[in-house]
Each structure stands twice: as structure tokens, then as C-alpha cells.
Copies of this chain bind each other. A is one copy, B any other.
Amino acid sequence: MISLPAIPPLDVDAPQAALARQARLTKPAGALGKLEALSVRLAAMTGRIDWLPTRRAVVVCAGDHGVAAQGVSAYPQAVTQQMVMNFLRGGAAVNVLARQMGARVTIVDAGVAADFEPHPNLIRAKIAPGTADMTLGPAMTLEQADAAVQLGQDVLGAEIERGLDILVVGEMGIGNTTSASAIIAAITDIDASQVTGRGTGIDYAQHAHKVRIVNQALRSNYPARDNTLAKVGGFEIGVMAGLMLCAAAARVPILVDGLICTAAAMIAAQFQPQVVDYMVAAHRSIEPGHGIALSLLGLAPLLEFDMRLGEGTGALLALPIVEAAMRTLQEMSTFDDAGVSGPV
């Protein structure tokens, strides 16, 4: 059994202080809407009202999926490897947005079905070259699942040593919306047809096939609370869960990205439910399972841009919002300081 760090309870003093300060700032009470609520939550996570998301990392976890052989994606499996190369050359959406937002990029090869040359931004830690086909049995062994979660913790430990104020979690893996849909169906007990989407852009006939594949994976495996990741997960999803557990233990807020990231959040919550306290849902994608999973986790998404790209792209877009929530709390004048009259 894997060893997990303890996740501290949310702070209670800092959010009180944030609320009290929000009430004194030169604006009508509550006029910054969700920004105010976000600043209070971030104060509770970090225990500070002077926290800022200054040192930012996006960790993109990549892995291949045996279920890709069932024809669930619009793209060939080789695209996982090709996109990792694209990440390392700086040409993918995640790179563009990370540059804009001032976030460093770390890529983790958690189980891509190809080998990579060494690269300073790549952690080569393949659990295996792709999972097994989950329609025929478990995607991985319990030992492999534990190893993936442990790898995520190790990766985040290293990121924290480099200095980390906020974690953005991303992924790449052809076939991984199928795995994520199976995870969400298994955990929520909602029918596969409700939580399975069109992924990278399959047509309606292919979507019906994908729903059948998710159902077949569930029937072949009967995933339970203590083995969902092994039965229908992916190596990159296990690593993402480990990243989140370690971040929460260190009071580092986690920006949750799309469907696969949210499935990983559900896996993390199976290990330690308090991990969700440290998550901010950056956006809601167009995948139907995403909104359902966020609701079940109790997370309200900040952005709704009909995205479905993964990589951490949706989460990166929310970084300026997180910063704005804290900067308004910290930098605005109070009514007293500014000599502005309060309500009549």
C-alpha cells in the first residue's frame, strides 16, 4: 500500500481576515463577485492573505492507453509521442499559454508507448509503454497504479524544491477521455452514455462505439473504490492524482483542467477526500462528463470556453483570474484609507 502525506485542514483565520478586509475595500460589498469568494478560498488553502501565485508550474503527464486499439479516438496512438515532442520543442498550446502566463513546463513520461531522448523539461519515468486494453481486463496492476501515484508525489516534491506557489495539472494521451469517462462512470454510478463525449472530435457513430467500449470496460472490470485507477485508469492519470495529493499536503493550490484532470482529481479524492479542498476548477470543457464530475466534487468552474484540448490549457487561462482575486484583496484601498464614504 502506498504511503501518502497528511493533508492539513483548511486554515480558518486567513479566510476570516480575507472576508473582513473585502468588506473594507473601496467597492460595494460583494461587487467583485466570484473573485471575492475565490480570494477567501485561496486564503483558506494557503493560510495567508498575502499569498500570490508567483511561482507557477504546469506539469503535463503523458501516457498511452491500450484501449486506443478499440478505435475510440480520431487520432492514431502515435500522436501521444508526437505531441510530447511538440511540448519539448515549445510548439503546443500548453507551451504558448505557459509562456504568456509565466509558468514553467514539466513533462512527465508516465507511460508513452515510445522512448524519448533526455531533455531538461522531460521526466522519463515510464511505468510501462502504455496500459493494457481495459475492455479485456485491468488497465494496469495494483502495483503499477501505486507506482504511478508515487511518481506523481515524487515529481511534485521536486517541483516544490524548485519553488512552487500554484500547480497547474495537464495531460496528453490518445484514448484517455475513454479512460476518464470510465473512471467518472465508475465513481459516480452515472451511465456511461451520460459521461462520455466526443473527445478529440469523433463523429456520432464513433461516439456510440466509444460508449459501448466504456461500458465493456466497466463490465470487464467492476472497478471498486480501492482499485478504480488500476482497473480503468491510465498511468498519466495516476501521476496526476499523486501530484494533487502532494500539492494539497504542501498547501499548494491546484488548478484543475478538463475531463481527464478532473477524473484524476476523483482518483485523488478516493485516496484522501480532503485533497479537493485545495482544488480550483479552472474551466468547464465541452465534455459532458466534465461538468458532472466537477459537480460531484463540489467545484464550480471559473471559465466556460467550450474547450476540449487538455494539456492544462484551460487551467492556464485561469491563472490571471487567480492572481486578480488576490491582488484586489491585497492592493485595493480601504474606505478609511481612501476617504471614500460608505453606504448611506
Give chain A's interface residues, CB within 8 Å of chain B: 25-35, 73-76, 78-79, 82-83, 85-86, 89, 91-93, 95-97, 99-101, 199-201, 285-286, 302-309, 313, 317, 319-321, 323-324, 327-328, 331-333, 337-344
Contact = CB atoms under 8 A, between A and B. Distances in A.
Contacts of A303: 303
Given A35-B305, A327-B96, A339 B201 contact: no
A173 to B, nearest CB: 14
A324 B100 contact: yes
Contact of A82 (B313, B331, B339): B339
Nearest to A342: B75
Contacts of A302: 305
A343 B201 contact: yes
A83 B320 CA distance: 25
Nearest to A77: B341
Nearest to A78: B341
A215 B265 CA distance: 51
Contacts of A319: 320
A117 to B, nearest CB: 15
A342 B331 CA distance: 47
Contact of A93 (B27, B100, B286, B323): B27
A68 B308 CA distance: 47
28 contacts: A25-B93, A26-B83, A26-B86, A27-B93, A28-B74, A28-B199, A30-B201, A30-B308, A31-B201, A31-B308, A33-B305, A33-B308, A34-B305, A75-B342, A76-B344, A82-B340, A86-B338, A89-B333, A89-B338, A91-B332, A91-B338, A95-B331, A100-B327, A101-B320, A302-B305, A317-B320, A317-B321, A320-B320
